[in-house]
Amino acid sequence: MNFWTKAAGLILRNRYLVLLIIAIITGLLASQMKYMKFSYTEANLLPEDHIANVEYNKFLEIFGEEGNLVILGVKDSTVFTPEKFNAWNKLVEQFDERDEIDFTISIADVQKLKADRKKRKFVLEPLYEKNPTTTEEVNAIKKQLFEKLPFYDNLLYNKETGTLQTAIYIKKEIINTPKRRDFIFDVLIPAIKKFEKENNLDVRVSGMPYIRTLNAQNIQDEIILFVVGALGITALIFFFFFRSFRATFITLLVVLIGVIWAFGFIGLFRYEITVLSALIPPLIIVIGVPNAVFLINKYQQEIKKHGQQAKALQRVIAKIGNATLMTNITTASGFATFVFVKSNLLREFGILASVNIISIFILALLIIPIIYSFMPLPKKKHLNHLEKRWIENVVDWMEKMVRNQRITIYFTTVVVIVLGIIGVYMIRVSGSLIEDMPKKMDFYKDIKFFEKEFGGIMPLEILIDTKKDKGVMKLSTLKKMEKLNEAIETFPELSKPISVVNLVKYSKQAYYKGNPKYYQLPTSQEQSYIFSYTKNSNNDAGMLKTFVDSTGRYARITTFMKDIGTDKMDVIQERLKAVIAKEFPSDKYSVSLTGKALVFIKGTNYLIKNLVISLSLAILLIAIFMAWMFRSPQMILISLIPNMLPLLITAGLMGFLNIPIKPSTILVFSIAFGISVDDTIHFLAKYRQELIANKWKIKPSVYAALRETGVSMFYTSIVLFFGFLVFTLSSFGGTIALGGLVSVTLLLAMVSNLLLLPSLLLTFEKKIANKKVFKEPAMKIFPQNEEEESKK
Per the CB < 8 A criterion, the answer to whether 285 and 742 are in contact is no
Any residues with CB less than 8 A from the CB of 776 and at least 6 apart, and which? 631
pLDDT at 142 over 60: yes
Phi, psi at 550, each rounded to 5°: -65, -25
Q: What is the percentage of the chain residues whose pLDDT exceeds 90?
A: 21
Return the beta strands (E) in 88-160 as ranges: 101-105, 111-116, 121-126, 157-158
pLDDT at 792 over 50: no
pLDDT at 379 over 80: no
pLDDT for residue 629: 67
Distance CA 534, CA 122 (A): 6
Per the model's pLDDT, the better-predicted residue between 132 and 546 turns out to be: 132
Lowest-pLDDT choice from 282-286, 355-359, 776-780: 776-780
Split at pLDDT 50, 70, 90, the class of 683 is confident
pLDDT at 630 over 80: no
pLDDT at 770 over 60: no
pLDDT at 766 over 90: no
Per the model's pLDDT, the better-predicted residue between 431 and 344 turns out to be: 344
Per the model's pLDDT, the better-predicted residue between 465 and 699 turns out to be: 465
Per the model's pLDDT, the better-predicted residue between 766 and 432 turns out to be: 432
pLDDT for residue 791: 38
Split at pLDDT 50, 70, 90, the class of 787 is very low
pLDDT for residue 535: 67
pLDDT for residue 155: 82
**CA 119, 124, 125 angle in degrees (round to 5)?**
115
Per the CB < 8 A criterion, the answer to whether 466 and 62 are in contact is no
pLDDT for residue 581: 92
Instruction: State pLDDT tens for residues 462-486.
Output: 999 999 998 998 999 999 999 999 9
Lowest-pLDDT choice from 289-293, 434-438, 599-603, 764-768: 764-768
CATH 1.20.1640.10 residue spans of the chain: 3-42+214-434+600-791
pLDDT for residue 774: 52
Instruction: State pLDDT tens for residues 238-294.
Output: 888 777 888 889 999 999 999 999 999 999 998 888 777 888 888 888 888 888 888
Out of 426-435, 571-580, 677-686, give the one with best mean pLDDT. Answer: 571-580
Any residues with CB less than 8 A from the CB of 270 and at least 6 apart, and which? 35
Split at pLDDT 50, 70, 90, the class of 542 is low
Residue 74 to residues 88, 167, 211, 244, 412: CA-CA distances in angstroms? 9, 12, 18, 59, 57
Distance CA 715, CA 209 (A): 45
Split at pLDDT 50, 70, 90, the class of 366 is very high
* Over residues 731-742, mean pLDDT: 83
Instruction: State pLDDT tens for residues 76-130.
Output: 989 889 999 999 999 988 888 888 898 888 888 787 888 887 877 878 888 888 8
Helix (H) or strand (E) holding 299: helix 280-306
* Over residues 710-736, mean pLDDT: 82
Residue 479 to residues 51, 476, 595: CA-CA distances in angstroms? 28, 5, 23
pLDDT for residue 692: 76
Instruction: State pLDDT tens for residues 303-327.
Output: 888 888 888 888 888 877 777 887 8
* Over residues 536-551, mean pLDDT: 69
Phi, psi at 101, each rounded to 5°: -100, 135
Split at pLDDT 50, 70, 90, the class of 40 is low
Q: What is the pTM of this model?
A: 0.78
pLDDT for residue 464: 94
Distance CA 789, CA 398 (A): 25
Instruction: State pLDDT tens for residues 410-462.
Output: 999 999 999 999 999 998 877 666 777 777 778 788 988 988 888 888 888 99
Split at pLDDT 50, 70, 90, the class of 55 is very high
Name the CATH code of domain 3-42+214-434+600-791 (choices 2.40.10.220, 1.20.1640.10, 1.10.490.10, 3.30.420.10): 1.20.1640.10
pLDDT for residue 418: 93
pLDDT for residue 767: 60
pLDDT for residue 784: 46
Lowest-pLDDT choice from 41-45, 74-78, 611-615: 41-45
> Whole-number mean pLDDT of the chain?
83
Distance CA 441, CA 260 (A): 30
Residue 169 to residues 8, 105, 152, 265, 612: CA-CA distances in angstroms? 63, 8, 16, 36, 41
pLDDT at 501 over 50: yes
Instruction: State pLDDT tens for residues 182-241.
Output: 999 999 999 999 999 999 999 999 988 888 888 878 878 888 888 888 888 888 888 887
pLDDT for residue 538: 57
pLDDT for residue 461: 92
